[in-house]
Every structure is written in structure tokens, then in C-alpha cells.
């Protein structure tokens, strides 16, 4: 059959032979293009499937993270007579905290502020210890004078002081009197500051003594401005003379 094709091909004119060659080359190119497109399509489909499967797997949370933790699920643990069986640590904290209803307030100049519950950190530390050991039995939670309690009391005192503290203001130039050719100075304004150290100590004492509804009077002192009117004027005159001389 190949011999007949060769004879047929040789019997054609040179022009027809060239046309025949061009036709064959065009067919070969088209076949290559179709084959390449098919390969590219397969690659795209594979990549898309891989991306989708990766996205699906990334959105699936590990099985352990979807399980609600029951810290005391199987341990026969009781705190102050309260059974913690089946509770999470947060639930256990809430149940025990009911025995310690913190309602301490701080007063000053007719105002009253609620003090942050400084027992929270103590109770969390206590429960962390039980969770670490996980030994069944009866436990007793009691408030004692610890470093954790003192730090919580200090933070609570700072928060209250931030509400009532007023910073003293020094005397400054506020205008110029052309008639007297002098600058006018404002008077310095005193400030007030809560004695945070004493307040923190009072809060800690209330916790240790079980006075969870105590009303504590804040100790507040007056603070003086850095520069009074006379001092501010003297500083300005000294600066003015220095500027003139130089």
C-alpha cells in the first residue's frame, strides 16, 4: 500500500507535491495542538481538585478541638463539699465562686466604685493545681494572703485611681498685657491622687478576712503643681534674659 502511495505521490506535479506536504504538516500541527490542550486541561483539573481538597481539609477542625472539655469528667473531686464531676474548669470556678460573693466597693467624695473581684485569680490558680494533679478527693479552697492576691489587689487599686486621680497643672503663660508690656500667667492648679498602696492593702485584707461586702474609703491626698505662678514667672524672666544676652 505504501508503494502505491509513493507512486501516486511521484505522479503529481511539483506544485501539488508542495501542497500535499503543507497539508500533512498542518494536520500534524493540529494534532499536536489538540494533544497539548488535552494535557493542559488534565493538569488544570488535577490542580483544581488538589486545591479544593486542601481547602476542605484545612477547614476541618481536629476532632479533639471539637470535643467540649470536661476537666473533671471522671474524677470524684469535691471542693468545699461541691462535686465537680462532669464540670469544665470554668463551670467549677462559677460553682465555687458562689460561696464568695465579692461586692466590695470603694468610696471617695460622695462617689462609689465597685472594686474588681480579686478572688478570681486565686480561684483559677487553685483549680489549675487540681487539674494538674487530678487526684480524687475532698479539697478546701480558702483565701489566703498570697502574691497572686496582692497583685490582683494592686491592679484593682490602679484601676480605681485612674478614675479619681487628677494631675496637677503648673502655671503657664496664657496672655500678653500690652499696657504693662508683660505676659500674664495662670495660677497653678493642685491635683489629687489616691493612695494606691493603702487601697491595695485594704482590698487584700477584705479578701483574707472574708469581708466580701466591705465599703472602703479611699485615702486621697493633694498634689502640688511643679511650678507655681511665681516660679513660672521667674523661669520665664531668666529664659528671656538669657535669650537677650545671647
Residue 192 or residue 235, greater confidence: 192
185 vs 53: CA distance, rounded Å: 74
Computed over every residue of the chain, the mean pLDDT equals 76
Q: What is the mean pLDDT of residues 225-232?
A: 72
Q: How confident is the model at residue 72 (pLDDT cuts 50, 70, 90)?
A: confident
Q: Which of 173, 171, 205 is nearest to 188 (CA)?
A: 171
* pLDDT > 70 fraction of the chain, expressed in percent and rounded: 63
Give yes or no for a contact between 220 and 193, defined as CB atoms under 8 angstroms apart.
Answer: yes
182-185/191-194 β-pairing: unpaired
How much is the pLDDT for 42?
A: 43
Q: Which of 55, 66, 59, 130 is nearest to 92 (CA)?
A: 130
pLDDT for residue 12 is more than 70: no
pLDDT digits (tens, 9 = 90+) for 90-121: 999 999 999 899 999 999 999 999 999 999 99
Joined together, the cell numbers standing for residue 213 give 461586702
Question: Which residue's entry shows cell 476532632?
Answer: 63
What is the helix, strand, coil percentage profile of the chain, to 5? 55, 15, 30
How much is the pLDDT for 75?
A: 63
Handedness of CA 197, 201, 207, 212 (dihedral sign): negative
Range in 15-19, 108-112, 205-209, 211-215 the model is least confident about: 15-19
pLDDT digits (tens, 9 = 90+) for 113-168: 999 999 999 999 999 888 887 788 899 999 999 999 999 999 999 999 999 999 98
Q: What is the mean pLDDT of residues 180-204?
A: 88
CB count, 10 Å around CB of 227? 19
Please enumerate in sequence order all residues whose Cβ is within 8 A of that of 139, keeping only pairs 6 or more positions apart, or say none.
77, 78, 79, 80, 130
pLDDT for residue 50 is more than 60: no
Whether the predicted model's global pTM rises above the 0.95 cut: no
In order of 39, 122, 158, 192, 202, the CA distances from 161 in angstroms are 73, 23, 5, 10, 14
How much is the pLDDT for 26?
A: 54
Q: Residue 113: what are its φ and ψ, rounded to 5°?
A: -125, 145
The 3-state DSSP class for residue 34 equals helix
pLDDT for residue 190 is more than 70: yes
Q: Which of 132, 136, 95, 120 is nearest to 87 (CA)?
A: 95
Residue 188 or residue 239, greater confidence: 188
Give yes or no for a contact between 84 and 92, defined as CB atoms under 8 angstroms apart.
Answer: yes
Amino acid at each position: 500500500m505504501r508503494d502505491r502511495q509513493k507512486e501516486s505521490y511521484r505522479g503529481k506535479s511539483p506544485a501539488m507535491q508542495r501542497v500535499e506536504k503543507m497539508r500533512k504538516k498542518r494536520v500534524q500541527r493540529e494534532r499536536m495542538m489538540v494533544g497539548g490542550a488535552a494535557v493542559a486541561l488534565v493538569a488544570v483539573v488535577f490542580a483544581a481538585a488538589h486545591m479544593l481538597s486542601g481547602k476542605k481539609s484545612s477547614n476541618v477542625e481536629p476532632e479533639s478541638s471539637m470535643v467540649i472539655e470536661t476537666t473533671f469528667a471522671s474524677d470524684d473531686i469535691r471542693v468545699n463539699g461541691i462535686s465537680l464531676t462532669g464540670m469544665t474548669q470554668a463551670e467549677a470556678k462559677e460553682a465555687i465562686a458562689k460561696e464568695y460573693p465579692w461586692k466590695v466597693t470603694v468610696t471617695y467624695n460622695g462617689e462609689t466604685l465597685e472594686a474588681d473581684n480579686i478572688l478570681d485569680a486565686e480561684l483559677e490558680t487553685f483549680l489549675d493545681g487540681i487539674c494538674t494533679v487530678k487526684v480524687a478527693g475532698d479539697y478546701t479552697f480558702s483565701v489566703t494572703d498570697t502574691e497572686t492576691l496582692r497583685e490582683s489587689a494592686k491592679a484593682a487599686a490602679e484601676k480605681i485611681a485612674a478614675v479619681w486621680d487628677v494631675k496637677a497643672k503648673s502655671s503657664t503663660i496664657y496672655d500678653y498685657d500690652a499696657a504693662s508690656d508683660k505676659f500674664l500667667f495662670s495660677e497653678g492648679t493642685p491635683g489629687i491622687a489616691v493612695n494606691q498602696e493603702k487601697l491595695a492593702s485594704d482590698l487584700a485584707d477584705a479578701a483574707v478576712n472574708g469581708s466580701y461586702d466591705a465599703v472602703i474609703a479611699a485615702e486621697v491626698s493633694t498634689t502640688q503643681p511643679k511650678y507655681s505662678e511665681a516660679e513660672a514667672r521667674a523661669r520665664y524672666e531668666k529664659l528671656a534674659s538669657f535669650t537677650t544676652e545671647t
